[in-house]
Structure formats: structure tokens, C-alpha cells
Amino acid sequence: MANIKSFILLVLLFEITSCSAQKTAVDKPAIKPIESIKLAMTPELLWQVKRVSGVSISIDGSQVIYRVSSPNVEENKFSSKLYSISINGGTPSEVSSTETIIQNKNISPDGKYKLMDKAVKINAVHGFDFHPDLQKSTAQIYTSLDYRHWDTWNDGTFNHVFYGTTNASEDNYIDILENEPYNCPQKPFGGDEDYIWNPDSKNIIYVSKKLKGTQAAQSTNTDLYQYNIETRQTNNLTESNKGYDTQPTYSVNGDLAYLSMKTDGFEADKNDIKVLYNGITTNLTAQWDESVQSYIWANDGTRLYFTAAVDGTLQLFEVDFPGKTKRMPVVQQLTKGEWDVNAILGQTGDLLVVTRVSLNRAAEIYTYHLKTQKWTQLTDVNKDLYGNVANSQTERRYVTTTDGKKMLVWVVYPPGFDKNKKYPTLLYCQGGPQSALTQFYSYRWNLHLMASQGYIVVAPNRRGMPGHGVDWNHQISKDWGGQNIQDYLSAIDDIVKEPYVDKTRLGAVGASYGGYSVFYLAGVHNKRFKTFIAHDGIFNTQSMYGTTEEMFFVNYDLGGPYWEEKNKKSYTDFNPVHHVAKWDTPIYIIQGGNDFRVPLGQGLEAYNAAQIKGIKSKFLYLPDENHWVIKPQNSLVWQREFFKWLEETL
């Protein structure tokens, strides 16, 4: 693996060779030189990348409001600023307040009322709640599940929505959940998108899972509720559906759209767009064989625009809304390219405003012209940084799996790739397990960064990933160690046929289900790999079932409890712990202390096993991180340790 100096020399040599070829071989295509002399992406450079997120389009449709967050490694925090830029491009200007620029969705359409949310103490949990004379007690007492979630212990508080007149003190606002032990916004990631005004200004629509304790931990059944501010009565609008119902929005014509999954307990089920019109619910994407990620109404209310995974990318789609006619809705793909459209901010005229990323570039704001199909980039906040960084090369590769299917595999090559050389190669194992593997840009699992250190990265769209049909996505549930593991092996076995792959220097890396994949492969890889890295991976499916917090996930994906005979395979054949006897390869195990989804014990069990077996192993413990790594300095430690391990073992 070349360091920066040797990389620059390689670039110079390549350019000299290229220039010579252009002079002497006029009858052959000239070798395309690398873009000037550029540096390889490094962890330190990655943590100088500014992060762009869209906020909204201005009320008059002339401006795009967006946020730029900048990491400060020295102070171990982020700072952020708001900017506006013309919808036609130009020089951005800093915004101090958005109050008069963008529509405040929390103000009722008639301007009389305002919505807000805050945490409300409902349940007694702490020792001092039960024993008032022991106010210094740190005890916590529970009588049901749902006692902790993601990275936070349940302290007896619930997120509630309040409303009041715009001139009233918020202390006098009315709680629409009236001390019920349910959340809106949903924990841990819900925001004010979980509640909206009806256009009549008399009703509030909100999302909530109205289940308690153990029942709540085993279900995904969120519903849309309508609260009337005059009668203070609540009506469940989606009672007949037992899965996720989320993201309610109204069209300009007053039609209510939302996203809906039908299967209770299956958090990665097909996500459809439904519309409630004149008391009738229509599923607009029922006949379409993919899953919706996000959507907006068209300005005229005749159609909806949405994003979805397709063939290893995230693209823009539209579906028309037939209204009261019996005509079937038609879904059309609008865009195609080697990038991801990961958010739609809104529409102004014939322009959709979106954020777009690729493996080489972080998110920026773009417009897409619906008639001319023209893309225009509005922001380029990392232009100077990327101007000095060489791009990696990305290739689509299609591999035949062991059951005869065609599987997309992304292959990412180092900058300055030379097919006459041999390169160490990493198999990247995606998490989820039902997460799309697209042209994503990660600040941890950054495939461009890995390739820039001199590795070829192989990223298979194995079974379980959206973007290849619903059946492909659903297949992985209850089959964790089955066909999808064979998909990984098919991908790496295919790439090692290439002369530029050093098949004696293969590694496998991944997090979450990707970490499970690494632990599992470590016992079945049959000497293919020379090193492994597993972050927050499931090592023991039985103890995972006994300690994770969202029971619906393990109930659906593993089949249910380990003591039920029907689920035996998930806890025996597909349990990495039962294959540890065959472990014989160096492994680095990384674990977040505040990860309640894949709890600390998973990493500890795996590290203990490796150490007792005498396998070269290392343990990185991040006590204040959850299932992710958020803090800048912890993230840099992670990156440096990741590549240091690969240098030592690969």
C-alpha cells in the first residue's frame, strides 16, 4: 500500500508515460492521465469535509435554504450555518433567521395556532419516584420491556405534541396526547415531520405507536391519528394497517398522503405511498416492485415525486394520483446515473430541488428540470478540498450467484489504478441487513477512502438489499447465514480471477449485520481471507435475542425466541458462535458502549473467543458511542485504527 509520497510519484510516472504514449502511438487511444497531481483521500481530509443538508425552498420559490455543518476535530464538535442561494444558482448568502423566508409548517394555515413538542414525565422509573425520601438514589425500576431504546434508557418521559394560539405562552398549550404514555415524535429519530396541520386548521395529524411496554417493543404498528381541536377527540386514520404508517403530508388539494408498510414487526417491509381521498385509501405503488424511501407532493397535487433504490443507486421517480377515477396509478423512473438522490427538498416550477451524493463526493444541492431532464448543481461547498483529492474509479460488475441469479457488485478501484499491478482487496459487508448498497457517501464506511489507501473494494448487492425487487429484499429474513453469505463468497471468488487482485491479501470488513457477516465468514471462509474487521456485529444470536431492545427486529429476522424449535437454525447453523472452532484469522473487533441495538456483550464475547483461541486480535471500545461513531475525535481514532490494522495484517 503506497503512502502519499509514493502515490504522488506514481501519479507523476503515470502522467509521463501517458504523455509519451500520446506522442508515439498516434494510432492508439491515448491513456487518460489522472487529474493533475492530487492527493489520496485520508481520514484527516475526510474530517474536513463540510456536510450539506437541505432545509427548504423559500415561500416565493426563488431561494433554496440549506445548512452547512463543519466538523471541528480539535474541539470535538460540529458548528453549523444556514445559507440561501438562488434557485438559478449564484453566490450563496448567510441566513440569520428563516422566520420570514420559509413556511413554518407548525403554524396552522389560518395563522391562529402553533404546534410544538416536548418531553412529558408520565411513568415512575427512578428510585426517588417510588421512594421520595431517597432523592440521591440512581436506581431505575422497570416492569416491562421498552426500558431502553437505541442509546437511551427510558426515564419515564414521552414526547408529546402541544398546540395553542400563536400569541399564548407555551406553558398554556394543550397536550393532544393528554398524558398518554406514547410518543410523538417517535423515539429516537422522529422530529416535527411526525405532526402536521390539516388544511382546515381544525385538525392535527400525528404519528404514534400507541402500544405500551413489552407489546411496544415487539411491534412496528405506528398509526396516523387525527385530533380535532374543537372537540378534543382523536380518530385513528390507519387502524386497519398493522405495520408502519409514517410521514403524513397534504396536497394543495387537501389529499392526505403517507408512507405505509403492511407487516407488523418487519421494519424493512415494502414501503408504499398511500393517499386518503374522500374517506377512501389508495395504495399508489402497490403494483410496483420496489420500496419508497421519501416523497413529496407535486405543487399541483396531481402526482407525487419520490426516491427509491434501483440497481445500486437512489433515483427520482414519480407516480400520478388518479383521484376518484378507477385508473391504476403509473410509476415512472425520472433519473438515471451513478449517484444517489438522497433527499427531495421541494418543487418550484419545473424544478425539483434535491441533495445528491456519489462515492467520491459528499452531498450537495442540485436542481432537476422535469421537462428538459437537466441537472444543475447549486452548491459546491467542498470544491477546494476535492480539487486536491484524486477520485477513485467505480465499476459495475455482475456476478452469477450459486443459485443462478445475477447480482450487482460495486468494485471501487484506487486512484491511479494500474491493471498490471496487484492490489490487496477488501470485501465490504453492508449492514441492515436490508439496507440498500448504493452510491452512498459515509463518514465512516467510506469506500472512496478505503480505495484511496491502495485497496480494491468489492461491495456486493447481496440478498436482502432494496433496489432489486421485493423478493430479493425479503429473502434474507430468517436466512442470515444462508444464500446471502454465499453471495458474498461468489463476489470475492469472482473478483480474484482478475490478475490485478492479490488473492493472498483479501480482507472482509463490515458493521451491524455486516459485522455479523464478518463473524460468520470467519468460521466458514475456508482460508480465503487474511484479515477481518467487525464493528458492532452480532456474534451470538441467542444472547443478541436476550439483550437487544427492539424485539420486533429479532422476532422477524431471526424468526422469534431461541427456545422455540421452529427457530433452531437461526440459533445454531446461522449463529457465528457455533463456528468459532474454525476461526484461524486475525480479527479486529469494535464495539460502542451505548449501542443497545447490538449490545456491548456481542463484541466482548467475540473478543474473548479470539483471545482464548490465541488468534491475533484487537478490541476497540467506544464507551460513549452508540451503533454509530458520531464524535469527530472518536471517528478519527476509528479510521486510523482501521487502516493501521489492515497495514499490519494485510
Residues with a catalytic annotation lie at 512, 595, 627
Strand partners, 459: 410
Strand 93-95 vs strand 77-86: parallel, antiparallel, or unpaired?
antiparallel
CA-derived radius of gyration, the chain? 26
| Distance between CA atoms of residues 156 and 130, nearest Å | 12
Cα–Cα distance list, 415 to 10, 319, 359, 387, 502 (Å): 10, 40, 13, 14, 17
E runs forming strands in 515-650: 531-535, 587-592, 617-622
| Distance between CA atoms of residues 632 and 75, nearest Å | 9
HSE-up of 451 (CA within 13 Å, CB side)?
A: 26
How is 237-264 classified by DSSP, letter by letter? SSTT--S-EEEEEE-TTS-EEEEE--ST
**Would you give the end-to-end CA distance of the chain in angstroms?**
10
E runs forming strands in 58-202: 63-72, 77-86, 93-95, 113-121, 148-149, 152-153, 157-165, 174-175, 195-197
Beta carbons of 538 and 558 less than 8 angstroms apart: no
Residue type, 548: T
Determine the 3-state secondary structure of 116 from DSSP: strand
| Distance between CA atoms of residues 235 and 227, nearest Å | 7
Residue type, 371: K
Does 424 sit behind a cis peptide bond, omega within 30 degrees of 0 on the bond before it? no
Strand partners, 196: 205
Helix (H) or strand (E) holding 564: none
Q: Which positions ≥6 away from 178 have C-beta within 8 Å?
A: none
Cα–Cα distance list, 467 to 329, 390, 472 (Å): 20, 29, 8
Determine the 3-state secondary structure of 559 from DSSP: coil
Helix (H) or strand (E) holding 353: strand 351-358
- Number of Cβ within 10 Å of residue 411's Cβ equals 22
How is 289-344 classified by DSSP, letter by letter? SS-EEEEEE-TTSSEEEEEEEETTEEEEEEEE--TTS-PPP-EEE---SSSEEEEE
Strand partners, 357: 340
